[in-house]
Chains A and B, each alone.
Chain A
Amino acid sequence: MKVVVCVKQIPDPADPGALDPETKTLKRDMKLILDESDSYGVEMALQLVDAAGEGEVTLVSMAPNNERSGLSTALAMGAASATLVSDPALQGSDSLTTAKVLAAAIKDQSPDLVIAGSESSDGYTGTVPEQIAGVLDLPSVTAAKSITVDGSSIKVQRQTDAGHDDVECPMPCVVSVTAGVVEPRYPSFKGIMAAKSKPVDEKTAADLGFDADAVGWAGAGQEIVDVAEAPQREAGEIVEDDGEAYTRIVGFLEELKII
């Protein structure tokens, strides 16, 4: 069983980053860490391979400056190897370009299953996994909370507002995983020591067959025209309870269509 996990390396959310006013995108020239939302995918993949009793988990990532700190964490968790696509030409790539690049890196590996987080914690476009599936012409299942392998297909519990849908899908396929559905393991000392000798294959856009003007800012089909500060949170409404305040609460919840 060969599982590829797409992992994004992002600025540490505990150390809030800044926007580059030129490009209106997040500055990403510092040390990057494994996106927490991808750690669930890594964990799920490791569990699937464990359960299958054979195979391996490999990683693909696209990041600036050959950054691999976040990959190291995932390798120390137990992934076997990684492909890192890093190229100045890729700066400014939109989600579709990102998906094409990652798809090209995945394709050579002919995996049984591709796992990705539902969305990154720095960009939140939430479209890359499905676009990868589109580019590779593979079936796509979104918002998985659990995956089990059954012969040549998988059974997925797909998170919905009401509960979950049971979905079956033939392999190979692309599955996006909901955050928080498994407990990602912490890298052990042994895992950390092993990680340093695990192969990380560095590739440029050209290695994957992309012209510089087809990717990055040049190839982006979208443009960020403006960024604005998030509006300040407005002060809440305080209701003095005269014994009838519950009616206001019920009314408020009805207004929100929660009840």
Chain B
Amino acid sequence: MTYVPPIRDINFVLDHVADVDDLLTRPPFTDVDRETLDFMIEEVGRFMAEVIAPTNVDGDKIGATWSVGDDGYGRVTVPESFTSAYKQFVASGFGAVPFDPEFGGGGFPWIAAIAIQELMTSANMAFALCPLLTQGAIDAIHHHGTDDQKALYLPKMLTGEWTGTMNLTEPHAGSDVGALTSKAEPVGDGSFKISGQKIFITFGEHEMAENIIHLVLARTPGSPPGTKGISMFLVPKYLANEDGSPGQRNDVSCVSIEHKLGIHGSPTCVLAFGENDGAIGWPLGDEGAGMRNMFTMMNNARLSVGLQGLALTERAYQQALGYAQERVQGTAVGAEKGAKSPIIDHANVRRMLMTQRSWIDAMRCLLYENAAALDRTVGGGDDAEAQQEWADLLIPLSKGLCTDVVNEMTSLAIQIHGGMGFVEETGVAQYYRDARIAAIYEGTNGIQAADLVGRKLPMRGGAVVLEKLDAAAALAAELTGVAPLGDFGPRLTEATAAARRATEWLLEHGMTNPNNALAGSTPYLRMLGVVICGSLLGTLAKATLDADDDADFLAAKQASARFFGEQILPTVGALEAQVTAGADLLFALSAEQLA
């Protein structure tokens, strides 16, 4: 199935929601001009559609395979089409766009990287995970590395010639990273011998790149238990020679890869460090600061996973739409008697398509606004603190909401295909399977909900959330009575009021009994996420009223926003009851009684 990059939709959100023109007047982005940004996004779209998208089915059908190499280390082979596409990706240089020009980067704002990632992930999510993890490792080295480490690793990682991994999880340390037991013993020359086993390491082994830089969390001798005793180490697959080229093989072996529901093209590795003569690693950042330092990249990583929700919804929608236009079944209301209608003419199919389309617009607003807020914190402008609060509030919504929604939307894409959707040959099932992981990794959506009520809602005693709800209410009043938007304004007013009541309930009852807040946290994330999406779509819809653009395009944006207002915003009414029910009923049955 071909992929058509939604360049125009991305541009519209960049213009009217994220306000990129404003962003580019702020340091350090003043050297980036809008025309070049637009041109780049367009060329990236073409590259992803023509070079990366055709490899998506290979990733699923052939997948990554494991074997033992001649050197005795575990070997991972990805589909041949991945290797050649990756080579072209390196040649493109698109991996370097948002990074420091000192190391070969483009110095573009993060939102540019988000646009690239959206296009790449829609094209092939499994493939896109490799550059995504590399990006996280680049960020970590850039923030916490010594000058020598930066000079040695960053230039090669920015081009993608070397890739990066993040090694946190161990068999007994998943969401509770503090439980990890991997060890780092000092050798005496500044380096450490790393030993232990890490699981769920994305692209932990492959041969697309000439070196892999593993960032590993481990404990030094005598370190305190829990997260305070964790340090971060840089462990390359091949140790660098004097001239920086990859030399001796380090003692890191991929001992197996997982057999997964989806993203088959992305090898999920079990890595064994130091099983033979010891894996050499160097500290990255201060001893004991590993966990805190890993969290510097967390906002970006969670935003990127949220983006996978949008990207797969977009791809699945494109395929479902194509099918609905071609598949002829039954006679639609209003069709000539006896004539067979394409299923797109049936109201129920339309409902599914409109729901997908409307969520695509909503998610794109949320994610790109989140990226823009992160970018606005960088230059330290007057509003940097407010932007940081906004970005921090948006992160659990971007990650949690978009990755929940993608499960529903890729499921609808299968539904639109009917029985053929359940058959693998159609290809639409792959998006559903690939999407499923996004709600789990990078902090499960339960963790996101806990983060929302436990850390984000309490910011300034709840004022950050309440101020945003006030702004949404003001926008709702402004859009009430605006004819092309139907009942968007009144529905946003009601939804905002419901979210305010739920927020106030949590602020009051969550403080006395944290389990009350946690019990309602998942429906609250959905509720606040839907309302914030509604308000951002309100901003988008407002812009359509006087934007200088193609009339059909603007009308489609209005219809999509209106659908969200009239059909999706009202669902928050039901969520209010869930949020404010408290924890008692969840624990009414004992663990034994649940058996």
Contacts and interface: CB of A to CB of B under 8 A. Distances in A.
Interface of A: 14, 69, 72-73, 76, 186-190, 192-193, 195-196
A155 to B, nearest CB: 29
A64 to B, nearest CB: 18
Interface stretch (B54-62, B89-97, B205-213, B481-489): B89-97
Identify the 7 closest CB pairs spanning chains A and B, nearest first: A189-B93, A188-B93, A186-B47, A187-B43, A192-B40, A188-B92, A196-B36
Report the contact-size class of chain B (Cβ under 8 Å from the partner): 10 to 19
Given A76-B43, A188-B93, A193 B4 contact: no
B36 A189 contact: no
Contact of A193 (B50, B51, B91, B106): B106
A192 B39 contact: yes
A186 B35 contact: no
A138 B479 CA distance: 66
Contacts of B33: 196
B24 to A, nearest CB: 14
B249 interface: no
A69 B47 CA distance: 16
Contact of A186 (B36, B88, B96): B88
Given A14-B4, A186-B88, A192 B35 contact: no
- Main SS class of interface, A: helix
A19 to B, nearest CB: 18
Given A186-B43, A192-B39, 9 more contacts: A69-B39, A186-B92, A188-B92, A189-B40, A189-B93, A189-B96, A193-B106, A196-B33, A196-B35
B446 to A, nearest CB: 38
A207 B92 CA distance: 38
A233 to B, nearest CB: 16
Contact of A188 (B35, B39, B46, B91): B91
A14 B318 CA distance: 14
16 contacts: A14-B4, A69-B39, A76-B39, A76-B43, A186-B46, A186-B88, A186-B92, A187-B43, A188-B91, A189-B93, A189-B106, A192-B40, A192-B43, A193-B36, A195-B39, A196-B39
B39 A72 contact: yes
Interface string B13-53: 00000000000000000000101100110010011001100
Nearest to A14: B4
Given A72-B39, A196-B35, A189 B4 contact: no
A192 B4 contact: no
A187 to B, nearest CB: 5
Contacts of A189: 40, 92-94, 96-97, 106
A18 to B, nearest CB: 13
B303 to A, nearest CB: 21
A72 B4 CA distance: 21
B124 to A, nearest CB: 16
A190 B94 CA distance: 9
